[in-house]
């Protein structure tokens, strides 16, 4: 009861699927782009800790016509008076003190950078979880297909026995026809399962972001092996330290603290420095002065403080304090939800481990029953209906055993994801 890959197919192991997906999956690539943006924003200049320097140049002119009438009745007219002004300057500006706003902003940008990395990590972990689940789902469907193939083998063997009996005159035509019905029924079930296997294969191709979604492959693993040694206490300890959702919630708490400090910083005095160099050239067409050049250095310090802003500062501080409390509540909510998920999934994990033992015993018993039933059927001491029931019991037991392994594997994957250890599947 094993799946034999067709010649020329790709053979993937779990690590192969994860590796391909990590390089090509669109969600991961988008998350990495967002992380790069957060990293690019984490600079001293973006926080306001570096000075700014601007270079300016201006060229302007005037072309005027003027008429001047004097009190003695004389008149002086000037036409086409063209004057120009050329200005060049370099301006330096720097925030010396603003209530620790710049330093706090830089720390906040650092936290946002960490959140960007954690969001990428969360995307990667969810992807690996999906890949592992999809990989073993494909193996599950192949095993179910093998189970149906075995059912078809049994039905064909029964048909052969009935045809031999009929030819020897010890069997009836009705038994042969009934056996053919069973063969056709099992063939139909196998055909439908082939479609399910193909769907699982395409889904895995999609998660790996392969260009050729119709790519056919087989898996290096042919069975679903589970880890029976996961302990709740160790999982809980790892979860509280490494769970990515919990880490993001903790970072959001810290960011809310920085937001509060940024609002409080508006109450402090601020001190700004500015300085520069300017060069001016003025030209005149009708004047006793033909041109004038002015250049020099300028500087200044600005000290200020906001005395009253319509109570907006007070309102902002109050709202920020509420937001800090909300972020703390959100962290506690995430922690409680994670604890509940861990406890629920671990209970299912333990239950499925017990089911594996039970279903394996049922499967071994069903195999023995089938061997006995086939011998009795060949001797004519067992009816066809009874043989079909024994055969169905074996196939159902095998299917339940396979499903128990798969459900245990899903619980195992979920526990590894919650505890922040999902990447162990890639080691």
What pLDDT is stored for residue 5 in this prediction?
Answer: 46
What domains can be seen in the chain, in order of their start residue?
10-426 (1.20.1600.10)
CA angle 329, 348, 420 (to 5 degrees): 50
Q: Are 78 and 36 in contact, with CB atoms under 8 Å apart?
A: no
pLDDT for 287 equals 66
**Model pLDDT, residue 8:** 52
d(CA 324, CA 258): 10
Strands (DSSP E) contained in 263-359 are 270-283, 291-304
**DSSP letters spanning 114-127:** HHHHHHHHHHHHHH
By the 8 A CB rule, do 264 and 306 touch? no
| Integer Cα distance of 327 and 320 in angstroms | 10
Question: Measuring CA to CA, how many Å separate 206 from each of 135, 212, 213, 214?
Answer: 12, 9, 6, 9
CB-based contact 141:200 (threshold 8 Å) = yes
State how far the Cα of 52 lies from the Cα of 55, in Å rounded to an integer: 10
The burial of 49, by beta-carbon neighbours within 10 Å (0-12 exposed, 13-18 middle, 19 or more buried), is given as middle
- pTM given for the model: 0.87
φ/ψ of residue 48, rounded to 5 = 90, 20
Question: By the 8 A CB rule, do 404 and 356 touch?
Answer: yes
What tokens does 313 get? 């500062």
Taking each helix axis from N to C end, the angle separating 244-264 and 232-242, rounded to the nearest 10 degrees, works out to 30
Please tell me the distance from the alpha carbon of residue 113 to that of residue 119, in angstroms, as a whole number: 10
In whole angstroms, how large is the CA radius of gyration of the chain? 40
The answer to whether residues 198 and 189 touch, using CB atoms and an 8 Å cutoff, is no
d(C-alpha 178, C-alpha 170), whole Å: 16
Token pair for 186: 């099992």
What's the gap between Cα 48 and its chain centre?
32
Mean pLDDT in consecutive groups of 10 residues from the start of the chain, 427 residues: 52 95 94 96 94 92 78 76 87 90 95 97 97 97 95 91 85 88 94 96 95 93 94 96 97 96 92 92 75 89 90 94 96 97 97 96 94 88 87 94 97 97 92
pLDDT of residue 298: 92
What's the pLDDT at 125?
A: 97
pLDDT digits (tens, 9 = 90+) for 234-257: 999 999 999 999 999 999 999 999
CA contacts within 13 A on the Cβ side of 194: 7
Task: Strands of 243-367 (E only): list them.
Answer: 270-283, 291-304
In 220-343, at which residue ranges do the beta strands (DSSP E only) sit? Answer: 270-283, 291-304
pLDDT at position 77: 77
H-type alpha helices, 61-172: 101-168
Cα–Cα distance for residue pair 267/322, rounded to 1 Å? 19
Please name every residue paired with 47 in a beta bridge, in sequence order, or none if there are none. Answer: none
């Amino acid at each position: 009861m094993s799946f034999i890959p067709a010649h020329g197919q790709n053979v993937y192991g779990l690590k192969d699927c994860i590796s391909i997906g990590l390089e090509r999956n669109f969600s991961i690539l988008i998350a990495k782009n967002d992380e790069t943006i957060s990293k690019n924003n984490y600079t001293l200049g973006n926080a306001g800790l570096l000075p700014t320097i601007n270079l300016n140049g201006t060229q302007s002119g005037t072309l005027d016509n003027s008429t001047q009438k004097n009190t003695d009745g004389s008149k002086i007219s000037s036409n086409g008076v063209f004057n120009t002004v050329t200005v060049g300057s370099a301006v330096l500006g720097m925030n010396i003190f603003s209530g620790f706003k710049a330093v706090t902003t830089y720390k906040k940008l650092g936290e946002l950078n960490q959140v960007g990395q954690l969001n990428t990590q969360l995307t990667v972990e969810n992807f690996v979880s999906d890949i592992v689940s999809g990989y073993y789902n494909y193996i599950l469907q192949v095993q179910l297909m093998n189970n149906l193939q075995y059912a078809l083998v049994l039905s064909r063997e029964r048909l052969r026995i009935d045809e031999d009996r009929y030819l020897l005159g010890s069997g009836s035509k009705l038994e042969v026809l009934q056996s053919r019905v069973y063969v056709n029924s099992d063939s139909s079930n196998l055909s439908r399962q082939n479609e399910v296997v193909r769907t699982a294969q395409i889904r895995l191709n999609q998660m790996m972001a392969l260009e050729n979604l119709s790519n056919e492959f087989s898996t290096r693993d042919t069975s679903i092996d589970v880890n029976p040694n996961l302990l709740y206490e160790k999982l809980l300890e790892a979860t509280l330290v490494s769970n990515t959702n919990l880490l993001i919630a903790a970072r959001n708490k810290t960011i809310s603290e920085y937001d509060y400090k940024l609002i409080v910083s508006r109450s402090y005095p601020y001190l700004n420095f500015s300085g520069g160099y300017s060069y001016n050239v003025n030209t005149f067409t009708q004047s006793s002065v033909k041109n004038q050049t002015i250049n020099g250095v300028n500087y200044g310090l600005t000290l200020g403080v906001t005395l009253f802003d319509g109570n907006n500062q007070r309102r902002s501080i109050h709202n920020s304090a509420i937001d800090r409390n909300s972020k703390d509540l959100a962290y506690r909510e995430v922690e409680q939800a994670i604890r509940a998920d861990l406890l629920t999934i671990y209970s299912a994990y333990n239950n499925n481990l017990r089911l594996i033992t039970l279903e394996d015993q049922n499967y071994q018993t069903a195999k023995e029953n089938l061997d006995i039933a086939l011998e009795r059927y060949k001797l004519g001491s067992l009816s066809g209906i009874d043989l079909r029931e024994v055969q169905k019991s074996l196939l159902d037991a095998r299917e339940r055993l396979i499903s128990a392994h798969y459900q245990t594997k899903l619980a195992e994957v979920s526990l590894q994801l919650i505890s922040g250890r999902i990447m162990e599947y890639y080691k």
